[in-house]
Amino acid sequence: MTFPFAWNEFADQPHNVAPRRSRLRHHLKHAASYIELVASNGALAVPVLNRYRRYRRVVHDRPVEIGQPFGLSVSPAGEKNEAVAAGLLETGVRQTLVRVPSWERDKLPLFEAFVRLLRRQGVGVVAALLQRRDDVLNSEAWESFLDEAFSALGSLCSHFEIGHAWNRTKWGVWDHREYIELARTAASLARKRGLKIVGPAVIDFEFHLYPVVLRAVPFDVVSSLLYVDRTGAPENAQFGWTTAGKLALWRAIVDVALSETPECWITEVNWPLQDTGRYSPAPGKPSVTEEQQANYLVRYYVICASSGLVGRIYWWQLVAPGYGLIDSRSDPWRKRPSFFALRTMVRLLEGSRFLGKTRNPEAEIYLFRGRAGDEFAVCWTRRGVVDHLFPHRPRLIIDRDGGETRPVSARIRIEEKPKYVVFSENDLPG
């Protein structure tokens, strides 16, 4: 079963052209595959829940080396490629992801030139290989695309993510068995070339798909496109699961499904922006203001990076009118608040050590020791304003976007907009 593939160039995603009735018929026809999922997950339920409880007890309650968890996706922009590279470098992020669609295989030389430009700037690159329905129905064409992509980019990219958001039918894959076939082909070719692969690139909170896929395909890194935008703020719960809870459950499932647990990465996340019209990938309820997007970006990264459960988080993406850190509709391009928020966070948190959280029912206060030895707190409220009394007067306040002020007392106002409260060395509040 196939339908014409239609790409939405404004929102960077396919149009959903398959009628709902046809999708229902397909799912009924392949009911056995869902029974397989139920059986696979049922057998793991008890050990997964036990592992999940252990993670929930320690997450954000133990030291974590932050390292370099910050990733930022970019796309080729033709004559503006240099501007894209310059913007990426300005954020301080040195890990990026580039989407390479199978239907643009004739543009592989352009992707290769773009990736070479990034590599010359000292940026590490992951290539995400995107599929469509034709690749499921024509395995030879998919294999040919993989062979050409690996040949063009194999020496330039550290990893290749296989497939994309395949648990959404608009991306061309209609059940997990179809994805496994695509991924197995990629894994076989990658192994022959000594390349590392990432997957299964499941989007949203659908972790029941992981056990059966992970046992069928030997990924070097396990990935999730862990969006939480439909719940609003990253601290909000979906069916009782906050972002931290989802991370703990995801990692528990991966650990139990595999005898040796590889690193886990979040390879895509963002919040779509209000009033961006056709450029928005998810208009309506998930959309937020530019200020909210910048706040949520910092809060999401801090929650995930300090959990110790995920090694890297990629924001999608640097330049995009509907959700990116830079709006390309004007000339020159306009940097949004989220651009400066990411730049400030990377400067302060990269290479730091997470020490724990200060208990405050009205505010989120994450404690870190930076590369230079200064100790600081990253603070915000989920809603409203709180005055928090620290044991000692901080020596510096850095706001979300990098502005600095000198506090006059130990009582600091904390808002939904994150800030960095910096203390003298070895003078961190308990």
Return the pLDDT at 430.
44
Other residues' Cβ atoms within 10 Å of the Cβ of residue 50: 11
* Averaged pLDDT of the chain: 93
**Whether 145 and 243 share a structural domain:** yes
6 in any annotated domain: no
Local mean pLDDT, 10-residue blocks, the chain (430 residues): 80 82 68 70 88 95 96 97 98 98 98 98 98 96 98 98 95 93 98 98 95 96 97 94 97 92 95 96 91 98 98 98 97 97 98 95 96 94 96 95 96 98 69
Residue 255 backbone phi and psi in degrees, to 5: -60, -45
Q: Look up residue 357 and give its two tokens.
A: 């959280």
79 in any annotated domain: yes
Task: Give the residue among 156, 158, 153, 176 at the shortest CA–CA distance from 166.
Answer: 176
Q: How far apart are CA 111 and CA 123, in angstroms?
A: 15
User: Are 61 and 319 within 8 A, CB to CB?
Assistant: no
122 in any annotated domain: yes
State how beta strands 364-369 and 7-8 pair.
unpaired
Which structural domain, as residue segments, surrounds residue 280? 17-349
CATH number at residue 403: 2.60.40.1180
Q: From 349, 365, 388, give the residue that closes a domain.
A: 349
pLDDT digits (tens, 9 = 90+) for 74-125: 999 999 999 999 999 999 999 999 999 999 999 999 999 999 999 999 999 9
**Whether 208 and 232 share a structural domain:** yes
**Whether 90 and 222 share a structural domain:** yes
**Whether 387 and 407 share a structural domain:** yes
303 in any annotated domain: yes
**Whether 249 and 188 share a structural domain:** yes
**Whether 162 and 225 share a structural domain:** yes
**Whether 286 and 366 share a structural domain:** no
368 in any annotated domain: yes
202 in any annotated domain: yes
CATH number at residue 234: 3.20.20.80
CA terminus-to-terminus distance, the chain = 60
Treating both helix axes as pointing N-terminal to C-terminal, what angle do 108-120 and 81-91 enclose, rounded to 10 degrees? Answer: 40
1 in any annotated domain: no
Q: From 315, 349, 383, give the residue that closes a domain.
A: 349
**Whether 130 and 233 share a structural domain:** yes
Other residues' Cβ atoms within 10 Å of the Cβ of residue 140: 8
**Whether 193 and 230 share a structural domain:** yes
148 in any annotated domain: yes
Return the pLDDT at 16.
78
**Counting every residue, how long is the chain?**
430
**Whether 58 and 95 share a structural domain:** yes
Return the pLDDT at 26.
66
Number of domains in the chain: 2
**Whether 161 and 21 share a structural domain:** yes
Return the pLDDT at 285.
84
**Whether 211 and 120 share a structural domain:** yes
Q: From 294, 320, 349, give the residue that closes a domain.
A: 349
Q: How far apart are CA 400 and CA 240, in angstroms?
A: 29
